Structure 1
């Protein structure tokens, strides 16, 4: 049996793990609440953690961290695995709950809320053409594309083009110019096509032109500092770079079809992206679409603030109507032209589904975002939970493909609904 496990681990390019993984676990015992204080059972919480351990044991993720809040209280805040290296490394470093992890595309949900804050402050209107603020975006028939359509992945410029030089990711002005010069795939904004990289550059430029601040400055002022975050920033300081979780490609080699689909989405070859993400250049860059660093607790804290309609510790971060507008669906689920999957978006979030969706069973009211490749951050108002599952392994096809859905469905199963969303009063909007 041990020989069979070794063969399977080698085939799936799994992370070498010790037989006893207890020494790799970090638990936030000081802040985890008793399950009964949140309308959960101890068995339910134990089930979620057991499913997390099963996912880790697949070897697809050198590090996993998970934070689950229920009724505003932390019921799970734990990590397991290696910040760097593995069981075969002499210099391996065990991760902790305070290890920052790249959210990748889950960064988009936070960046989107910065734009919703611009509207709250009266600096823009989401239905305005983006070209009203960035005139050069009107080139090649894109003049009528709205800010709302950009947030809902309908701006017609999902990619940076073919054979992109990776240096373009680190040249903001050149990237914005290239996007503005691009021919749209749909100049009316009717086509849903995931904007993996391009949207972040445009949102950054929009913030600069309407506030005179960089996207990082705007984030710090309105979200990061008010929420008292240690990390939760685009990129890392040089001091913090050595503390970040190291990303690793795991799983089966990508076939031509999957490889080409991912290349079209990301603009770069997947393995090139993997190598890039561990460089100082990437970790020090500002990429609003894909390189926010945070702990699982910080990501869950942000979504708890969203669940509380813009409030944190008695402090008003944003108005309830701002949150309400951001999480309303932009349309029913339809095939995304970039991802080649049925997706359901709001202006800024990937939405759940019924009878099942990306956040588990019966997740119609859930909103959040996925990140490369198994990062999940979301809130589910029906269950009153805010969840972050962060990891450093980046498999596409691998031995995690049963364990990951088991964890997601287990969270929704063990956190039963506590609100009737159809009869929910909207009194909370009158603030």
Structure 2
């Protein structure tokens, strides 16, 4: 009896459980290895990793609690989640706490959290609900596109002010959800055109208004003094909205600088993050140096967060790095399989949105670590040391497990054959048929996976 109770609490798809378990184990090992700077500063060898383990434990409890919530209740929290996210993002702009030059945190009772992490989940919830409610036999109603844009306009620009990369990744996820939800391609095409124009405008503004202080400091005497005067004036006028332009321009300049630099000429003070990440990757091998044997962790200030994938490559080698990448790919495709089994569109779209949030961010973090895209502040989901992001990402996994459990029950209850396999086959077959008998809640999505 007791065994049945335990298995009842840990229900859901076994593959998702396995992926989550491996990511947590890798996270604990690599955060312990990569937190040498934190251990040195605090004078506590085990302090940073124990704090991370505690946050993971809280995340697991949140995941299990979410996993036991029925899917229909997720719809109910959408309006509240959107309102709280909007209030939280406004509060961050007004009196948020700044860390590493970015104002992204709120502190309540000495507990820091990022409202943007909650806002990402709220946007996915709203997008899934709009698309599912407005499905027709020919795809999503044209009005769904307008409603999704209205929701995004109130949330994403507030995120973009302090965290451009998060806003961009969230926008990409919403776009992919609209494609999966069969929003008319003409509307998506027009949106992509507008987004490209906005992107060009934003980059142009960054390059014009931003100041790459490292380049400007190379200028001589009077010119540098004039530049500093202009910088101060610009910062006084736009410091609340455009104070991140300097950072963005510096990162773009570094990424676009294709000039080859000899190893002995690399400035490890100016380009410390990317330089030491490259050293970590170059010094690895097929199997790496082994867990705990990283050298570059002592020089990378964000070794336990933004650049933890470089440490993974150094310690676990190409094989270990490929395994970590494979885990995220399995997570995405397994979620797609679960989504294809769903009778209703809302749970399918919801879990695909959360899976895309995790996997797109993971791939972007990996691309930063290996130098394919400019440096950003994106951690590696479920692996990097974090606070709000760790717990929220665990909740996303809990939602996926909840839907996987719900979908399996429906297959068993509604199957008209003697085997579960035949039931799933019938559902898959019926989901490919478009006819007048299809109800709005069971209209087929674009093929997932």
Q: TM-score normalised to the size of structure 1?
A: 0.28
Q: TM-score normalised to the size of structure 2?
A: 0.27
Q: RCO greater where, 1 or 2, for CA within 8 Å and sep 6 or more? A: 2
- Give 1 or 2: higher helix fraction: 2
The structure with more radius of gyration: 2
